[in-house]
Structures are given as structure tokens and as C-alpha cells.
Amino acid sequence: MIKENLQKLTSEIPDYVKLVAVSKTKPVGDILEVYHEGHKVFGENKVQELIDKQPHLPTDINWHFIGHLQRNKVKFLVPFISMIESVDSQRLLKQINKEALKQDRIINCLLQFHIAEETSKFGFHFSEVKDFFSSETFKNMKNVKIKGVMGMATFTDDEEKVRSEFKQLKRYFDELKKKYFSDDDEFNEVSMGMTNDYKIAIEEGSTIVRIGSAIFGPRSCQL
Ligand SMILES: *Cc1c(COP(=O)(O)O)cnc(C)c1O
């Protein structure tokens, strides 16, 4: 089933949109099934689960971290992670930079914005980041590379609500791009869209969709 799911999904997603296969709660065998179809980008949202699975899987997998990240766990991801999509505070970004410097890596990051109604969803508010990128503190962070933004819409059937939240995230991206990253060709990612809302997200300008259930099937518990 996984193979068919993946094929169906990739045929529906335009070429310019990257797919992150969200493998949280799923076993190594399921991940290999997707990998052997030629797909190499996977997402996980728990540090422990990721570092348990990663050594058992091919080293050319690009791992995206998509969950809330505690600063004391950054050091475990830095050796191998390709992107941390869920940077939700300046303190976390500083910690990633510090560890990356220590381990001699440059870590790709997305800034996670709070766009949903739910208070539980992590993320920056736009006012918190606005002036940060012109600060010396940011300019001195040589071991993190900000590639764009990430967000999660409210979990609801109300399509217009979801659409307006995605529009909001795209506006944040556009404003940051214009003000702080206009010379930076690598600031170009808008990560939005999951199983239930990726079509709307793509219509609203997503460049990365993060999809779990539509590939691997439903998870036994919502994590
Ligand atoms: C679980 C998760 C996804 C994927 O969810 P599905 O609904 O299974 O596609 C995407 N993004 C984040 C941040 C997640 O935690």
C-alpha cells in the first residue's frame, strides 16, 4: 500500500514542491519501503525516536526535524540532520548555531510561525523576529542557514480558515524576503501542508509539504 500511496501523491504534487515523508511512529521497515522507491527526504518530530531509527537506515537519507526541539537535545541532531524546520525561538537558533560551530557543520533551518488558532502549536509571532535579522547577533551566526518559514494550520474542516492561515504564512515569508533576504537566493522555502490540507497549501505557495498518513497510513495515536 505504501508504494501506491507514494506514487499517487507524487503524481499529484507539482515538481517544484518538495515532499517530506513524515515517518513518525512508523517502523524502519516502512521507511525503507519508501526509500527503495527512490524517496530520500523524511521527517520526524521526536529526537529520541529519530536517533533510535537513524543508525538503522541509509546514510543518504535527508532528515528534516519537524517537532518542538528542546535546546539540550540540539547536540544529538547536529551530526546528521539536513534541516531543522521547527525553529521557534531565538534561544533555540542560538543553541543550534553554537552546537553546529562546535561540530563544524552549517545547519539549514526554517522559522516556525504560529499561524493556527490553537494555542498549543509552537512558533514565533511575526513581531518577535522582525528586527532580529538586521541585528549583529544574527549576523554573527555563521553556522545556521535560514532557508525560509514553516507553519501548521488549524486542524479543521473549514477550508477558508486553513487557506487564510496559509496566506498569512506566505505573507510573512514575502515580507522577510523583501526586508532581510532579498539578496539571498537560498531563502526560498515555505513549508506548509500536511495530509489533510496540502492541496490548499500548494495553491497558496507552499514549496515543501510534510505528509505522513497519506503515505504510511493512519497512526495509531495522534502524536
Ligand atoms: C505529523 C506531522 C505532519 C504530517 O501529518 P499527516 O497529517 O500525517 O500528514 C506534518 N507536520 C508536522 C509538524 C507533524 O508533526
pLDDT in tens, 105-161: 999 999 999 999 877 668 999 988 988 988 999 999 999 999 999 999 999 999 999
Given the CA of residue 20, which atom of ligand 1 is nearest to it?
10
Given the CA of residue 22, which atom of ligand 1 is nearest to it?
4
**Contact present, 5 and 214 (Cβ < 8 Å):** yes
Q: Does ligand 1 have an atom closer than 6 angstroms to the CB of 84? A: no
pLDDT in tens, 67-109: 999 999 999 999 999 999 999 999 999 999 999 999 999 999 9
Q: With cut-offs at 50, 70 and 90, classify the pLDDT of residue 194.
A: very high
Q: What was the pLDDT predicted at 148?
A: 98
Overall average pLDDT of the 178-207 stretch: 97
The CA 161 to ligand 1 mean position distance, Å, reads 18
Confidence check: pLDDT of 222 > 70: no
The CA 140 to ligand 1 mean position distance, Å, reads 33
Q: What was the pLDDT predicted at 131?
A: 83
pLDDT in tens, 5-36: 999 999 999 999 999 999 999 999 999 999 99
Q: Which residues of 149-188 are buried (b: 16+ CB within 10 A; e: fewer)?
A: bbbbbeeeeeeeebbebbebbbebbeebbeebbeeeeebe
Confidence check: pLDDT of 223 > 70: no
What's the Rg (C-alpha) of the chain? 17
Overall average pLDDT of the 193-222 stretch: 94
Closest among 155, 151, 165, 149 to 213, alpha carbons compared? 155
The CA 212 to ligand 1 mean position distance, Å, reads 6
Burial class (CB in 10 A: 0-12, 13-18, 19+), 127: exposed
Alpha-carbon separation of residue 125 from 59, 88, 165, 187 (angstroms): 35, 9, 13, 19
pLDDT in tens, 169-190: 999 999 999 999 999 999 999 9
Q: Does ligand 1 have an atom closer than 6 angstroms to the CB of 123? A: no
Q: Does ligand 1 have an atom closer than 6 angstroms to the CB of 20? A: no
Q: Does ligand 1 have an atom closer than 6 angstroms to the CB of 111? A: no
Rounded to the nearest integer, the mean pLDDT of the chain is: 95
Percent of the chain with pLDDT over 90: 91
Question: What contacts 83, CB < 8 A, 6 or more positions away?
Answer: 62, 63, 64, 65, 107, 108, 109, 110, 147
The CA 139 to ligand 1 mean position distance, Å, reads 32
The CA 100 to ligand 1 mean position distance, Å, reads 26
Confidence check: pLDDT of 221 > 70: no
